[in-house]
Structures are given as C-alpha cells and as structure tokens.
Amino acid sequence: MKIECPNCSAAVIYDAASKMMKCNFCSSSFTVYTVSKQQTEETLECDIYSCTSCGAELSVNSVEASTFCAYCGQPTIVYSRVSQEQKPKWIIPFQITKKQAIKLLKDKIEDGAFVPRQFAKFEIEKIHGIYIPYWLVDAYYHDVQTIRGKVGNGKYSSTQYFDREAEYEFKRLPFDASCRLNDELSQKLEPFDMDKMKPFEAAYMSGYYADSYDQSIEITSIFAQNKAKKLFDEQILATVPTTNRSIVSSAPTFKLRKADYALFPVWFLTIRFRNQPYTMMVNGQTGKTVGAIPFSKVKVSATWIGLFSLFSILFAPVCALLAPSLLGFEEFEVIGYFYYFFFLVFAVAIVKASINWGKIKQMNILTRETKLNQFAHKRQDQEGGRYE
Amino acid sequence: MITTIMMIVGAIFGFAIAFAIASDIVMEKIIKANVLGDEKSTFYNYSKEPLYLSKATDDIAWYDKM
C-alpha cells in the first residue's frame, strides 16, 4: 500500500527525526494523521518478499523495492505476493534515525575490547529498519503455594513452611511473534517503553519493512503462562524471610485475557568482516544495541600472556614455597587455609571464565546468523524448496 | 625429595591460579565491552503489582514437625 503525498501524489515516508511524513519528491512534510487514510478494515494490504537463501518473509508497506534480506544479509530476496496481513493494534514508531543507529553502533565498537583494526574501521554493508511483530498479552494468574525455607544456622537452624496466596493481573507482557527472529535476541532488544505506543497507522510503516507474525496466540499463551509463573514466583518468594526457599506445593490458575498485535521498531545493521556477515541490531525506540563485536585473537593472546606472566610471578613462588609446609602437621592448619583460599580463587575464576566464554561464543554465533540460517535451511528442506 | 615434589606441585598450582585469573579478566573484559545487549532493564514494561497477596509475615509460618 502506497502512502501518497497530498501535494504531488508521490510516495511519502515516515521520518523518525522530525516524526513527520516526508515527501522526497516535493520536500513537503505532513503529520501522520494528515496522510493516513481512514481505515476500518481489520487487515492491511502489504507486498510480501521472500528470501531464497534463508526463507524469511518480509512485508513492505511502501513503494521501495526490497533488494536484500535483512536477516541473513544475502541479496537473494524476491517479490512474492500481495498479502492481506492482520492489522496491528499498536505501533511504536521509529524514534532513532538511521544516522543515530550507525552512531550508536560506532560508539559501541569504539568502546569494544580487542577489536580487530579492520573491523574498527567498519563500513555498514546494509542497514534497514524493520518493525518486529509482538503479541502483548494481558493475563490473570492466581496461585496458592506452600513455601519451604530455612531459618537460622547450623545446629540452630529449622525448616519452616509458609502459606501464600496471591492473584495478579499482568498487563502487556511482550512476546516476539516472529519465529524467524531468535527469542534470545528479541529479549535482549527489550525493553520497549510501551507507554509511548500509538494506535496503529499504516503511515508509520512507510519507508520501513515489517516482519509478519508467524507465531500463533495459542503458542504464545504457553510462553505467557511460563513467564507469568516466573514473575509470580519471584514476587511471592521475595515475601518469605528465609534462606533456601523452595515451593513445595502449588495450584496455579492462568487465564489469557487478551493478546494485542503490535509492531516494535528495530534497526538491522550488517557489517561484512572476513567474508562473514555480522548482523547487529539497534532498538529503534531506545537505542539499545544488541550483537557481538568480534575480537582479535592476537590482541587477546598478547593481553592474556601478559596477565598470566604477572600472576605467575605472584602466585607460583608463593605456592611453591608454602607447599612443603603442608607436610608439617603443626603448620598445616595455617598454611592449609591459604591453600583453601587459593583453591577457592582458582575455582571461582575458572568457573566464571568458562561461563563467560560460553556467553561470548553463543552471542558470536547469533550475530553471525549461523543459527538462524540453520533453522531456515531445515525449514526449506522440509517444505521442498517452496521458495525456489 | 618430597620437599622438591611438593614445591613443584605448589608451583603448578600457582600457575593454574594465574591461568584462571588471567582467563577470567580477559573474558570479563570481552563480555562487558563486546557482547552488547546484556544491560539490565531499568523499567518494567508490564504491571506486576498484586491485586491481592495473603498476609506475608512470619506469623503464618508453621514448623516442620519432622
């Protein structure tokens, strides 16, 4: 659907900086409500584009033709069809402009650690604003719980049981309604400030892509129940003044009141580094940046060797000199405590390093879209090359 | 002899601690500066105040008879 300029009938696009509709042909500006057509239908006409590489589908509500896939960065996107999409109830318009999104990413990369020199001088290969579909769920949750907790220490500790009953009305719990966008990434993009949501106007979509929802309300309801339970349990457990708290009995009631369809703004920026596309995301409302900045193995190794040498000089002689004292039973208690302490430091450091390494690796994989591509390829295989 | 062995074992342990701390510092630096999007939310998107919450004090606790 084309939003026309009231002066020259050319296409107008939504400008995030001025929050106005701009005509690039006659340079006029209009408010969103001036150019919006009166729409009472529940559906919205959109052009659907499919990616032959990863299977993603994007709906484009403007005259702009799509030339690449915003998800996998490949130029393998083809016009598919005109579709009647369900009209969203709410929209958060883009508040971060393209320039601001690039600046935010640039700042983050400048602040990054061990960033490869080539990557630091990055050039954006592709950038596009996409409205991501969300379900905003209102739900009722009631539960009667018995919680077990421990009071006191050692011999004087006792186990106590606490009864709790509560009911909550959750409002606007957000759930990403696109199966193609990894849930971990969409959760990292949150929060969106939903107090600034506006009733949907097609004009806001002009100049941007919009992903169509492909996750049903039924599936979302299961996620909503899990999230409501998590939030509920956190609040209830916080009212029990003991340690080692655990829920021993529970009888929850969950009711989905309603689910509103909404579109939230995200900038997708693709940077090519060593022939690999790195897709970073910027929340189009708050400017929160999501992604993993690659690091130079040479720089990391050099820093690690420096630190390792420094700590070896500190710890190796001390541990070597104290170790024989462990054989003497008189000194054992004092020296033993030293060793317990050292062992604790070792254990904490190694566990933390391993967890952090896992997180870094996972985020790198997500940023390089390998997981997303794998998911899409599997789907393509199942569907017998539907997009060919 | 035993003293020497103990010293070698002690030194290896010292190197292991150095290895763990150096790795931890490097990983922490990467995760803080290069993994973007892990900042904690400063505001909630949804209402989370209870409509009703039963008395949340110790006086309704009962002791384990076991």
| Element (DSSP H or E) covering residue A309 | helix A297-322
B62 strand-pairing partners: A161
Six-digit token string for A343: 């062992």
- DSSP per residue, chain B: -HHHHHHHHHHHHHHHHHHHHHHHHHHHHHHHHTEET-PPPSS-SSB--EEEE---SGGG-EE---
Measure the CA dihedral A257/A262/A267/A269, to 10°.
Answer: 70
Which residue in the set A161, A163, A359 is minimally distant from B64, CB to CB?
A: A161
Q: Give per-10-residue mean pLDDT for chain A (388 aa).
A: 69 78 78 62 65 68 52 60 73 91 90 86 81 90 88 79 86 84 82 87 80 82 90 86 87 91 89 82 91 89 94 89 71 70 87 88 73 44 33
Q: Is the alpha carbon torsion for A277, A279, A280, A284 positive or negative?
A: positive
Six-digit token string for A277: 């596309």
| Element (DSSP H or E) covering residue A371 | helix A370-382
Which residue in the set B19, B37, B60 is minimally distant from A308, CB to CB?
A: B19
Residue A316 with chain B: CB contacts under 8 Å: 11, 14-15, 18
8-state DSSP, A234: H
B41 C-beta neighbours (distance < 10 Å), count: 9
d(CA A150, CA A161): 9
d(CA A23, CA A30): 9
CA nearest to A127, candidates A214, A35, A45, A209: A209
Contacts across the A-B interface (CB distance below 8 Å): 209
Rg (CA), chain B: 26
pTM of the complete model: 0.73
Chain A nearest-CA distance from B1, in A, is 10
- The pLDDT score that the predictor gives to residue A77 is 58
Residue A188 with chain B: CB contacts under 8 Å: 37-38
Site of tokens 């601690």? B17
Whether B58 has a pLDDT exceeding 60, the answer reads no
pLDDT band at B56 (very low <50, low <70, confident <90, very high): low
Instruction: Kindly provide the ipTM of the predicted complex, given to two decimals.
Output: 0.72
Q: Does B56 contact A at CB distance below 8 Å?
A: yes
**Rounded to the nearest 5°, which phi and psi values hold at B38?**
-95, 5
Which residue in the set B8, B21, B29 is minimally distant from A113, CB to CB?
A: B29
